[in-house]
Amino acid sequence: MRLSRAAASAVLGFFALFATSNANNSHHQGVDYEAVKSDIWAALTDSKEFWPADFGNYGPFLIRLAWHCAGSYRTSDGRGGCDGGRIRYLPERGWPDNVNLDKALDVLEPLKIRHPSISWGDLIILAGTTAIEHMGGPVLGYCGGRTDDANGDASLQLGPTALQVDIANCTLNGNCSFPLGPTTIGLIYVNPEGHLADGDPVGITPDIRSSFGRMGMNDRETVALIGGGHSFGKAHGACPTGAGPSPIEDPANPWPGTCGNGTSKGKGRNTFSSGFEGPWTTAPTNWTNQYFSNLLDFNWTIITGPGAHKQWTPNAISGKKSPPSGIMMLTSDIGLISEDKYKALVQEYATNISSLSTEFAHAWYKLTSRDIGPAWRCKGPWVAPPQPFQLPLPDAPAQSADLWSLADKVKNVLSASTKGPSDTTADGQPYVGALLINVAKQCASSYRDTDHSGGCNGASFLLAPQNDYPLNKGTGDVVSSVLKPIADATPGASIADLIVLSGTVALAQASGRYDFYDHLRGGRVDLKTAWNLEEVSRLAPRTYIANPIVAVRDDWVVRGLTVPQGVALAGLPRSTFQQKNLGYSGSFGDPSKVDNTLFKLLVTESWVPTNKTGPAGPEYVAVDKPDVFVLQSDLVLHWDGEAKAVVQEFAADNDAFLDALVDAWSTIMNADLPPK
């Protein structure tokens, strides 16, 4: 069944759905998205001799480019995605799954020259999204606002590189697992030929579910994306000799193609990209659900295609209609009817194109937007309403509490007696400042600069599942006993704002550095109900990196911290009460003081393990100071050469440490807020 362009627009119309409410957002940093979209629309059917468009339409080609640019995203650390436009650079440019996508970039280059203000990342996703609409497909909206990277360094952790091995090794390529996204490094999801290319459709279904799941997709989204994507275009494997040298082997003329002869060699009907050959449907430039009906209406037999790869050809079911000539399926496609849960979705989408259209539109928007972060970061005239994957927050109240008036209330409770958790200062007084600093640190610690997710806005760490993360143990008790009474007595005061304020006040009071207040911001809100579990689970602490130096440094990268900022945050005072609550022996100094004590200890003391290991890693004790304890992550700062230089600087200069701490604290507390 083909969905007409008018019907598709009625289901989830594109480029008009949100145009009225977002008309004032049609330009972003000089980008005229309407004009860019118009030029993309015209370019789709303007076939060029250097790379002829299949069926006279570049739409399927640009959908593949957008999908592969965005599809590198993984939930484990928020890396990948099209923000940065790094598909233009190695290593992504050279992945086997991206064969010939350099030509798709060449198709778009005149548009980039004509519209220099649009980023490559935005242009790639807009081109793919426009292509879907051009061929009658449903689209929920478009989220712009990407910025381009100057190189491919941020993709090195995706592999295949030594850095990827350090962070997320795969001992058998084709059998890769969490925290990597794909099952095969160099592919976007799975090997479509089967698990380890074995041609078994039953054996590939666990790979499909695992890989798409590691990229944040559930079963409904997975089947809609695979089938919706394969509704368009064809695979290319015209001959067995391949695409030719890669960009690594021949940067000047990558993948020239080896099929055919003369001026048509390596292109058009002689193209080799994936090594499979043929379309999935008889209408590869129209939005239909024929992919799903084809899976169900015919028997499928495995063959070796002209590109020397395993693929499937249709045969008539006894007494039923004959299949159309020329269509094919991949082992990964046949896998969708080889498992009951997937097959039920294939049956649904084969008989209900409206259901398919709705699911595909939402899944495509998620695929192409999830690395951008919350909805407020989306730019352009067609931004969809906030989606669950964007971890939406409630609207801010009409009137928020004045933080400065609340600061005095926080100061009054720092040394007040409490029935809840508390430390004791060197002179025997109760003190909750270090606990409040820890609460604020933990509240903000979920923020990932890689996909702009998490942070303290919403105070989500007080709700499931984050409140059960080991490092958050006891933080809710501190909030309940110290901060909630203040919030209850102050209309418009959010717990999230109070958390950040109280940690900042405690730092300023304990250090004597009142420039901690210089970047203090309010306006945070509180979640009343937990986020969707499927979506928020990506913010779980990362514990999979074995090398402690790599783990600490990669944590800084994911959080968007510089080395001095990361080192400085390690010097925050630690609550002895909280350390013992986490299963440790104690801390390194007076919890009511903020100074360079930790760094002087790291430079001067020798350390041995205590045989205690908690959620923050192994504990060590000073050989000559049996009541002084640090963590392995602290010692890493002295083991790593670059960090050690910063430790030595901070040990010698307390003001340098405090300068860096002020900078680091404001960075992590405000990272998830919109710019002023």
* H runs (alpha helix) in 451-590: 475-478, 484-488, 495-511, 533-536, 548-559, 563-570, 576-581
Residues 6+ apart with CB under 8 A from 647: 567, 599, 602, 603, 637, 638
| Rounded distance between C-alpha atoms, residue 637 and residue 552, angstroms | 9
Q: What is the chain's length? A: 676
Take residue 522 and report the two structure tokens written for it. Answer: 């309010």
| Rounded distance between C-alpha atoms, residue 72 and residue 464, angstroms | 28
| Rounded distance between C-alpha atoms, residue 22 and residue 547, angstroms | 47
Query: How many degrees, rounded to 5, is the angle at CA 656 between CA 652 and CA 657?
Result: 85
Which contiguous run of DSSP H or E holds residue 222? Answer: helix 219-229
Q: Which of 87, 40, 88, 96 is nearest to 68 (CA)?
A: 87
| Rounded distance between C-alpha atoms, residue 374 and residue 500, angstroms | 20
| Rounded distance between C-alpha atoms, residue 187 and residue 153, angstroms | 18
Take residue 301 and report the two structure tokens written for it. Answer: 């037999």
| Rounded distance between C-alpha atoms, residue 126 and residue 44, angstroms | 12
Q: Is there a contact between 305 and 311 (Cβ–Cβ < 8 Å)?
A: yes
- From residue 396, alpha-carbon distances to 373, 400, 443, 457, 604 in Å are 18, 8, 18, 11, 49
| Rounded distance between C-alpha atoms, residue 131 and residue 286, angstroms | 10
| Rounded distance between C-alpha atoms, residue 621 and residue 624, angstroms | 9
Our answer to whether residue 68 is catalytic in this structure is yes
| Rounded distance between C-alpha atoms, residue 39 and residue 460, angstroms | 43
Peptide bond into 138 cis (omega under 30): no
Burial class (CB in 10 A: 0-12, 13-18, 19+), 19: middle
Take residue 207 and report the two structure tokens written for it. Answer: 């790979």
| Rounded distance between C-alpha atoms, residue 214 and residue 432, angstroms | 40
- Alpha-carbon dihedral of residues 544, 550, 552, 556, nearest 10 degrees? -100
| Rounded distance between C-alpha atoms, residue 614 and residue 621, angstroms | 14
**Tokens 């001095």 — which residue?**
564
Q: Which of 141, 12, 155, 138 is nearest to 70 (CA)?
A: 155
Within 13 Å and on the Cβ side, how many CA atoms surround 257?
26
| Rounded distance between C-alpha atoms, residue 417 and residue 421, angstroms | 10
One-letter identity of residue 443? C
Q: Is there a contact between 437 and 483 (Cβ–Cβ < 8 Å)?
A: no
Report the 10 Å Cβ neighbour count for 427: 8
Say which of 27, 28, 68, 230 is annotated catalytic.
Answer: 68
| Rounded distance between C-alpha atoms, residue 232 and residue 227, angstroms | 9
Peptide bond into 160 cis (omega under 30): yes
| Rounded distance between C-alpha atoms, residue 221 and residue 228, angstroms | 10
Write out the catalytic residue numbers. Answer: 68
